[in-house]
Chain A
Amino acid sequence: MPFAADSLLADGFPGVRLHVVTGKGGTGKTTVAAALAVALAGQGKRVLLAEVEDRQGISQTFDVPPLPTTEVRVVGAPHGGEVIGLAVDPKAALLEYLQLFYKLGRAGGVLERFGAIDFATTIAPGVRDVLLIGRVYEASRRRLDKKHHRGSAPEDLAYDAIVLDAPPTGRISRFLSVGSEVAGLARVGPIRHQGDSVNELLRSGATRVHVVTLLEEMPVQETVDAIGDLSAIGMPVGAVIINQARGADTEAVAQLDPDELARDLRSVGLDPSPATVAGLLEQVRRHGERVTLEQKQLAVLEDLGRPLVTVPFVVEGIDLDAVTEIAGLLAEQGMVP
């Protein structure tokens, strides 16, 4: 498995409260976000793990019932740590928000009947994203006593850390620049205000965007592009997480000789049929090809100069044990303080 050079280790991201996890579709955003939340909880932290894509990824990853639109406990950890899950729903977020600021009462129902809620959450450009992030922002500022205050002491806050399972690389910059985008359309009003506050949190030292990738050409290319875009809009980039890395002892296999392999197989009681020997050699060749490609992509990632973190491919598939194991690896590689 390719491990990063020492200079590219993560420093635990001290002072960071919001970890945004993005990556190309299917690379492992949800899995890594879940593992990062577990790793933080392992340090006794109360962690909010939020998803915004209406996919119930948290429920599937932790094998718990589908999440409601409210925050629910997903798993506990030693020393009082826990992971709370939230599947952010834009409609619920909008209604809560209107309730909170406008004491709407039954007007919410009227808005819904007229399709106004649908308009705001699915059609009006950027508003949906502001609502999604706005909900996360609200949770980040909420105190244990449910009030919100600027500059609350950290120990009074409801969450020590928040991990956001974010939209994929193709949409992440737009998603995180909602504040600015909405500002262009809604020039006044609370949505504008909300956009501005969200912007402030996102660009502060308390936020990092981590990018998950595979050691394959397309995900690596998207990672490079996304990091460029994120930097351009002033978003602080954290680590690049190489997921599903394959184990490889390439040097050892490079010296493989068919006759010796056949002899070795016989010596341990296996049938060295020509088909088996040829098959093994073929696999070793393919494996070598893949590793060569991976090394090439690793070099591209190293050039980014960002901390690199490696998560191996889990052959057995992802379950709670695997997530916990990955959490341990993330912690070892400096993803948590």
Chain B
Amino acid sequence: MLNDRHTRIVVCCGSGGVGKTTTAAALALRAAELGRRVVVLTIDPARRLAQSLGLTELDNVPRAVRNLPPGTTGSLDAMMLDMKRTFDEVVLSHSTPEAAEQILANPFYQAVSSSFAGTQEYMAMEKLRATAGHRRPARHLGSHRRRHAPSRSALDFLDAPKRLGSFLDGRFIRLIAAPAKLGGRAGLKIVNFGIGLVTKTLTTVLGGEMLRDVQTFVNALDTMFGGFRERADLTYALLKEGGTAFLVVAAPERDALREASYFVARLAKDGMPLAGVVVNRMQPNAARGLTAARALDAADALTEQGRTASAAALLVHADVAELAVRHRALVRRFTAGHPGIPVVEVAALAQDVHDVAGLREIGAQLAG
């Protein structure tokens, strides 16, 4: 995948804490070592990632990683999505200074640009598109990842831009943005009754000022974007193009693998190119010859003889072996349920991944 120069965007997705950031960074580093020019883009604050790459901070612009392994022929940049700034940039680059000022000062805009359900995902897509669209770095592989925490379901990633787009282009927003226009056109009494009722109820429930803020906001956006839905569609098209690969990251746990299954099915349904599934943090077993049950029995016997050190070692092994067996069984079942989809296992390291060496080790395992 990394050697294929046609692959320009890798999207790592999966539920929270499974290792998306780590996987994305490990892949990016490996790609850089293979001579590619890479930027790794993360959605959430990734202090650890910044540290492990020797950067003091990550922000909205790519920063060059300097402590790459000797012999690296490519380059690696890292950046973090600052949602509000990205939204502001989009506004600034698409409107006149006066219009921009008006939008940026709108209270509804201010709330929306940092807490809109789905804005984070939407803006990540905008950023991704903007970054991938840069022609200067001739071959540019954007590893973008998202994390689960800010959204309700991992699938929001695919739904959010559309939901946002169709909302902003939708009937309801037209209605509150330009009630006069719609009211004049609508001949049917029932529609008029509906509009009146809807605006009245919303005004009572939310307060008139909030609705007025929404109106100003939507009208302003409208003049500069001319259709959020089209933009969302464009971003979608980019993701379906040949140059994109999705990686679903999961942990060897029932819930995480169940969520990975949903994700795999959803990507297939939307025609998004799935490169494979990474099962991260597999329990490694360094003494496979010894089962958990035998280790436990032996530990009991040794404890009776007062051989506490050896007994303790066997107890450690019993847990390791049992977990390793369970992880293996879960992966086997997942693989059997998803024939034809490459599944790569990555072992849990004893320590957190906190430096380039750790990322390289993960990268080596990802390469198989």
- A25 lies within 8 A of chain B by Cβ: yes
Q: A256-B310, A268-B301, A315-B323 are in contact. Are A171 and B150 (CB under 8 A)?
A: yes
- B108 lies within 8 A of chain A by Cβ: yes
Q: Is the CB of B314 within 8 A of A280?
A: yes
In angstroms, Cα B251 to Cα A241, docked, is 22
A214-227 vs B, Cβ < 8 Å mask (1 yes, 0 no)? 00111101000000
In angstroms, Cα B167 to Cα A275, docked, is 62
Other-chain residue from B118, B208, B286 in contact with A283 (beta carbon distance below 8 A):
B286
In angstroms, Cα B289 to Cα A265, docked, is 13
B-chain residues with CB within 8 Å of residue A285 when the two chains form the complex: 350
Q: Is the CB of A171 within 8 A of B308?
A: no
Other-chain residue from B206, B253, B305, B352 in contact with A216 (beta carbon distance below 8 A):
B352
A-chain residues with CB within 8 Å of residue B48 when the two chains form the complex: 217-218
Q: Is the CB of B16 within 8 A of A218?
A: no
- B89 lies within 8 A of chain A by Cβ: no
Q: Is the CB of B298 within 8 A of A191?
A: no
**Residues 112-132 of A at the B interface (beta carbon under 8 Å):** 113-116, 118-120, 122-128
Other-chain residue from B149, B153, B313, B350 in contact with A171 (beta carbon distance below 8 A):
B149
B-chain residues with CB within 8 Å of residue A144 when the two chains form the complex: none
A-chain residues with CB within 8 Å of residue B285 when the two chains form the complex: 279
B283-299 vs A, Cβ < 8 Å mask (1 yes, 0 no)? 00111111000100110
Q: Is the CB of B312 within 8 A of A249?
A: yes
Q: Is the CB of A289 within 8 A of B309?
A: no
Q: Is the CB of B147 within 8 A of A181?
A: no
Other-chain residue from B108, B171, B204, B297 in contact with A189 (beta carbon distance below 8 A):
B204
A231 to chain B, nearest CB (A): 20
B40-72 vs A, Cβ < 8 Å mask (1 yes, 0 no)? 000010011000000000000000000000000
- A290 lies within 8 A of chain B by Cβ: yes
A14-29 vs B, Cβ < 8 Å mask (1 yes, 0 no)? 0000000000111100
A-chain residues with CB within 8 Å of residue B323 when the two chains form the complex: 315
Other-chain residue from B118, B207, B322 in contact with A187 (beta carbon distance below 8 A):
B207
Q: Is the CB of A26 within 8 A of B16?
A: yes
B16-27 vs A, Cβ < 8 Å mask (1 yes, 0 no)? 111000000000
B-chain residues with CB within 8 Å of residue A275 when the two chains form the complex: 287, 289
**Residues 98-131 of B at the A interface (beta carbon under 8 Å):** 107-108, 111-112, 115-118
B-chain residues with CB within 8 Å of residue A171 when the two chains form the complex: 149-150
B-chain residues with CB within 8 Å of residue A282 when the two chains form the complex: 286-287
A-chain residues with CB within 8 Å of residue B364 when the two chains form the complex: none
The secondary-structure label for the interface of chain A is helix
Other-chain residue from A102, A218, A261, A290 in contact with B350 (beta carbon distance below 8 A):
A290
Q: Is the CB of A116 within 8 A of B201?
A: yes
- B230 lies within 8 A of chain A by Cβ: no
A283-316 vs B, Cβ < 8 Å mask (1 yes, 0 no)? 1111101100100000000000000000000011
Q: Is the CB of A170 within 8 A of B315?
A: no
In angstroms, Cα B147 to Cα A268, docked, is 48
In angstroms, Cα B297 to Cα A256, docked, is 19
In angstroms, Cα B156 to Cα A191, docked, is 26
The secondary-structure label for the interface of chain B is helix
B-chain residues with CB within 8 Å of residue A102 when the two chains form the complex: 201, 204
Which residue of chain A has the shortest Cβ distance to B170 in the bound complex? A115
Q: Is the CB of B206 within 8 A of A256?
A: no
Q: Is the CB of A25 within 8 A of B317?
A: no
A68 to chain B, nearest CB (A): 18
Q: Is the CB of B312 within 8 A of A252?
A: yes
**Residues 98-144 of A at the B interface (beta carbon under 8 Å):** 98, 102, 104, 107, 110-111, 113-116, 118-120, 122-128
B-chain residues with CB within 8 Å of residue A280 when the two chains form the complex: 286-287, 290, 313-314, 316-317
Which residue of chain A has the shortest Cβ distance to B295 in the bound complex? A270
In angstroms, Cα B117 to Cα A268, docked, is 61
- B265 lies within 8 A of chain A by Cβ: no
Of the listed stretches A52-60, A203-211, A323-331, chain B binds A52-60
Q: Is the CB of A114 within 8 A of B301?
A: no
Which residue of chain A has the shortest Cβ distance to B200 in the bound complex? A107
**Residues 252-306 of B at the A interface (beta carbon under 8 Å):** 253-256, 285-290, 294, 297-298, 301-302, 305
B-chain residues with CB within 8 Å of residue A66 when the two chains form the complex: none
In angstroms, Cα B314 to Cα A221, docked, is 33
In angstroms, Cα B203 to Cα A337, docked, is 45
In angstroms, Cα B287 to Cα A273, docked, is 10
- A186 lies within 8 A of chain B by Cβ: yes
B138 to chain A, nearest CB (A): 35
Q: Is the CB of A260 within 8 A of B115?
A: no
Q: Is the CB of A125 within 8 A of B314?
A: no
Q: Is the CB of B213 within 8 A of A185?
A: yes
Q: Is the CB of A186 within 8 A of B111?
A: no
A-chain residues with CB within 8 Å of residue B351 when the two chains form the complex: 289-290, 293
Which residue of chain A has the shortest Cβ distance to B290 in the bound complex? A276
In angstroms, Cα B283 to Cα A266, docked, is 26
Q: A25-B148, A114-B172, A284-B316 are in contact. Are A260 and B309 (CB under 8 A)?
A: yes
Q: Is the CB of B289 within 8 A of A256?
A: no
B147 to chain A, nearest CB (A): 7
Q: Is the CB of A125 within 8 A of B197?
A: no
- A184 lies within 8 A of chain B by Cβ: yes
Q: A264-B307, A317-B254 are in contact. Are A286 and B350 (CB under 8 A)?
A: yes
A residues touching B (Cβ–Cβ < 8 Å)? 24-27, 53-55, 60, 98, 102, 104, 107, 110-111, 113-116, 118-120, 122-128, 168-171, 174, 181, 184-192, 216-219, 221, 246-247, 249, 252-257, 260-261, 264-265, 267-271, 273, 275-276, 278-287, 289-290, 293, 315-317
25 contacts between A and B (CB under 8 A): A25-B16, A25-B17, A25-B149, A98-B201, A102-B201, A107-B197, A110-B197, A111-B197, A114-B194, A118-B172, A119-B172, A184-B111, A186-B206, A187-B207, A188-B209, A191-B207, A247-B315, A253-B309, A253-B316, A261-B309, A265-B298, A281-B313, A282-B287, A284-B316, A287-B316
Given contacts A53-B152, A276-B287, A282-B287, 8 further A-B contacts (CB under 8 A): A24-B17, A113-B194, A114-B194, A125-B112, A170-B149, A218-B352, A247-B319, A255-B309
Listed from nearest, the 3 A-B pairs whose CB atoms lie closest are: A25-B16, A279-B287, A115-B172
